[in-house]
Structures are given as structure tokens and as C-alpha cells.
Structure 1
Amino acid sequence: MRHSDISGRLPMAMALDRLLSGEPARDVIRYVLADMAPGRSAVVSSFGAESVVLLHLVAQVDPDTPVIFIDTQKHFAETLRYRDTLVERLGLTNVRSTVPDAGRLAAYDTTGELHAVNPDLCCHLRKTEPLERALSGFDVWLTGRKRHQNAVRQAMPMVEEEGGRMKVNPLADWTPSDTSSYMVLHELPAHPLIGQGYRSIGCRPCTSPVADGEDERAGRWRGTGKTECGIHLTRNGVPVGVIERSVGA
């Protein structure tokens, strides 16, 4: 069944969530790309710690699927090299980088140190705004988020409505064992920082290694109480986090 106009339809998101929950991730991806919103779906990837799994699944279904990478201009050099490695290794043919607006950075992050004084605003300028621009023209976006990653994500549905688009999380119910087994089975390369104790990898200034027994996202914005960057702060229109922005943001 094709869905020609799905924007902003919360009841449809809930129905699709019931339909797709429990289905294999590859089947969910194939349904999204071929039936749910053909030509109007994109993958959003950080090319981080576990990104290779979703990207590998997508490449198997359609390697020409648009993949949006938010280049915050604060990434680890290892992440940028890993991105290039995966693009070549998986045969991804449509990876699009989106960057912050230079004028906005000049106005609000003149020293490049905004992350240290207002990480929410920094994420808004460097992630949320560029992603919204990049998603223009798409009705659906796929993420690699998983329920086990932190407390906020534990109730995450497979399909949710956000800002007039559908957001689909094909790996929502995957466990760490599922992910590691899949990577071993398909001989997928790990992010080079994994071996240094990083388990969730974002921007260089705001990411630190994680100790044994810690939540895998404990190394993100450590000591700030912040757990999400700002692009995943609502669930079907209901806030699941708090973001504070300066005037004009």
C-alpha cells in the first residue's frame, strides 16, 4: 500500500507502528523505501559507534537512498575518515553533508566555544537547524536509535510523527548483542574510537569515553544533565526532553 500524503498524520504513525513493530529491520526499511514513501525517504546518520548496521541494511535494499550526514564542524577526525570508509565499503551513492549556517554561527558562536557555555544552543545551531533544511522535501526519515541506549529512548516506538514527517526507527528493539552479532556476521568495520572506550560518539568537545557499567550515552555532554542533541526531543509531538535556547535561536 502506498501512502501519498502522510505528513502530520499522528493516527497513521500509530497504525504504522503497530503494523511494523516486531518485523525484521530489513523488511521495515524495504517497506519505507518502496511502499511507504518511495523517493521521499532519507536516512539520517552520524556515522558514529553503531551507524554501520543501519547503513549496511539500507545499502542492501537501495544503495542510492539519500543519507544525510550533519557535519557540525566539530566532529572527531576519526569520524570523518570512518564516514569515507563506509561510503566506499557499502557502496552508498547518495550521501549528503549538511552544515551549520555561517551567519548564525558568526552571530552566536563567535569563538567556537558555545558548546562549553550553552550546549543546547550549540546543538540547535549545528545539528537541528541544518537537519531541518536537509530534510526539506522528504516525508520520512530513518534513524538508527535503539531503546536500550538510554532511559529517554526506552519507550520509543518503531514509527513516530515529528514536525509533519514520519520518523522510523527500524532498530528500535535491537540489543547490544544483536548489533555486535550483525557486525561480526557481515564483517563490518567498527568506528576507530570504539577501541578507546567511546560507546556513543558525537562532537569531539562534548564526547568522552564511557566506563564499565555506565549508560552507553553517559559520555555525551558529561556533567551537563543533557542526554539528547535536540533532533530527538519529541515523540509524536510530545516533548521527551528540555532544550533551552538563547534569544533569536
Structure 2
Amino acid sequence: MASPARTPDTLDLGPRFTAAEVAALNARFADASTQDMLAAVLGEGLAGRVAVVSSFGAESAVLLHLVAQVDPATPVLFLDTHKHFPETLAYRDALVAQLGLTNLVVLEPDAATVAKKDEAGLRWSWDPDGCCEIRKVIPLAKAMAGLDATITGRKGFQSSTRAGLPRFELDSSDAVGRLKINPLASWTKDALDAYFTVHGLPHHPLVAQGYPSIGCAPCTSKVAPGEDPRSGRWKGWDKTECGIHVPGSTDDGDGSELPPGYEPVF
């Protein structure tokens, strides 16, 4: 539970957050620049207990550049599902080197779990929720056991399900009460494009080929101009998120491989 002595004014926040604290943080930083907000988050009470979760996708370079300007040693968690486009892995390595990020943490699915539940590697074709659970949700849940907060690159304009996204919110993936921080929540596509230009950031090579949102190769399709940027993800399925931000898997596992405090959504 939150300590009554803590106040969002100093970001002296412990490992459990309340809705009231989240509301206070959103109010405190309502008019702050993204750079100032990140400097406060990474330099005050959350220092050492927060990590960036990055897919190294179409727009990831903006958030990673902003973070690198404050603290290039901030942990950057990358979920290597073993289903990524080769271009994504090459882009990841090039961007890490260019930005001087020094703490890339590559998370991989448990080999025994994959062998048991996705031996042929085709679970994505008949149960994309279960595939995401094995390759994304469980590995990230384990990595987050020692964290109080994560920083994401989600933007409100990306889809109708992300409209109105706040800068700070409670992480609903488990009952621990971690903080989820969305520095780019209110950024527009034009603002992102301008940032790329001003800072000379490289674009993911697949963007120019019609992929405005890039995930695992089997579940990512090209998007026609004017369509929802995330409409190419899991095309043909009633699915808009992988599960690391919005729980919703239907895997039939028993959750025994998860860390204490994680509530599986099987």
C-alpha cells in the first residue's frame, strides 16, 4: 500500500501506486514538456526502478532518443519473440548504437514453454492471443518483477482503443500496482515526423514499404493510406493488442511459470 507520507511533488513513490497518486501525477505534469517529465521520472524517486518497453517499431526512435538524452543507461526491454522481421532486429541494433543506449535487455520466451505449447511455431495462425502470451506477456511479467514502473511508446492517435491515453496510468496487467508512463500519449503523427527530421533519426526500413505499425512478421500486414495505423496488426482477428498493455489472452496454461503477484489471464 502507498505510504501516506509520499507525495507526487517529489516523485518519492514506493513500489505500490494508487489511483489518487496517478491522478496527482497527471495533474502535476499536465503542462510539462515531455523532456521535463522524463527528466523528473528518470531522475527522481523512480531512478533505478523504471524501464522502457520498446518494440523498436515504426516510431520507437523518438521515445528512445528522448530517454537517451536524460539517461542512456535506462534499461530498455525488448521482447524477442523469435517472430520478428529481420529488419526489426537490424534496426534495433543500429538504433541502440546511434543513440548510445547502454542497457538493452533482450527478453525471450521460455524454451520449454514454447516446446510444449507451440512446438511447430504456428500458434499465431490459430491462437494469436496464446502466442502473444507465451512470447510476450509471460517474459515481460518476469522481467517486471523488480520494477515499479515502465515507460511505453503508445500514442493516442494510433487507434480508437488508445484515444485519450493519459501520461500516467496504473498497470492493469497484474495486481501489483505498478505505474505505466506514456510520455508520447498526446503526440500527433506530425509532431513525431518533425522530431525524426530535426534530430536526424533513422526510420524503421519497413515504414517506407507500407507498415506504419510493426510487430511480429506473421501478424503484421501493410496498411493502405488513410487506414488506422494499427489496422495491419492481427488483420482478420478480433484483436488489437498483444496483451502486455491490455490483458486478454486465452491460453490454457496454469500460470505456474509466472512470478509471484502476476495474475494470468488464461
TM-score range, shorter chain: over 0.9
Contact 1:82–1:191 (8 Å) recurs in 2 = yes
Q: How does 1:126-145 map to 2 (within 5 A)?
A: 126-145=135-154
2: distance between equivalents of 1:22 and 1:193?
Answer: 34
The question of 1:243 aligning with 2:252 is answered no
In the alignment, the residues of structure 2 paired with residue 51 and residue 79 of structure 1 have an alpha-carbon distance, to the nearest angstrom, of 11
Higher mean Cα deviation, 100-109 or 43-52? 100-109
Determine the C-alpha separation between the residues in 1 that align with 2:233 and 2:127. 14
Q: Distance in 2 between matches of 1:193 and 1:200?
A: 9
Structure 2: distance between partners of 1:185 and 1:247 = 47
Query: Secondary structure of the residue that 1:226 maps to in structure 2?
Result: coil
Match of 1:91 in 2: 100
CA distance in 2, matches of 1:95, 1:113: 28
The answer for the alignment partner of 1:111 in structure 2 is 120
**3-state secondary structure, aligned to 2:68:** helix
* Residue aligning to 1:187: 200
Q: Which amino acid aligns with 1:44?
A: V
Cα deviation, residue 244, structure 1: 2.4
Using the alignment, how far apart are the partners of 1:46 and 1:191 within structure 2?
11
Question: Offset at 1:191?
Answer: 0.2
Deviation, 1:60, is 0.3
Q: Which amino acid aligns with 1:24?
A: S
Aligned-pair RMSD on alpha carbons? 1.2
Following TM superposition, by how much is the alpha carbon of 1:20 offset from its aligned partner in structure 2, in angstroms?
A: 1.6
Deviations 1:132-157 (A, max 9, x none): 11122111110110000001110221
**TM-score, with length taken from structure 2:** 0.88
Are 1:165 and 2:178 counterparts? yes
* Residue identity opposite 1:243 in structure 2: S
1:72 deviates by 0.6
Unaligned stretches of 5+ residues in structure 2? 1-9, 255-265
Between the aligned partners of 1:129 and 1:20, the Cα distance in structure 2 is 32
Q: Deviations over 1:58-81 (max 9, x none)?
A: 000010111100111100000000
- Structure-1 residue corresponding to 2:50: 41
Q: Secondary structure at the match of 1:167?
A: strand
Moved over 3 A (4+): none
Question: Please, which moves more after superposition, 176-185 or 149-158?
Answer: 149-158
Aligned amino acid, residue 99 of structure 1: E
| Aligned-partner Cα distance in 2 for 1:111–1:143 | 31
Alpha-carbon shift at residue 212 of structure 1 (Å):
1.0
Question: 8 Å contact 1:6–1:12 — kept in the other structure?
Answer: no
3-state SS of paired residue (2:28): helix
The answer on 1:178 being equivalent to 2:188 is no
TM norm structure 1:
0.94
- In 2, Cα distance between the equivalents of 1:247 and 1:183? 42
Determine helix, strand or coil for the equivalent of 1:107: helix
Residue 216 (structure 2) pairs with residue 203 (structure 1) = yes
Aligned length: 242
The one of 236, 241, 252 aligned to 1:223? 236
1:159 deviates by 0.3
Give the alignment partner of residue 72 of structure 1, picking from 81, 91, 112.
81
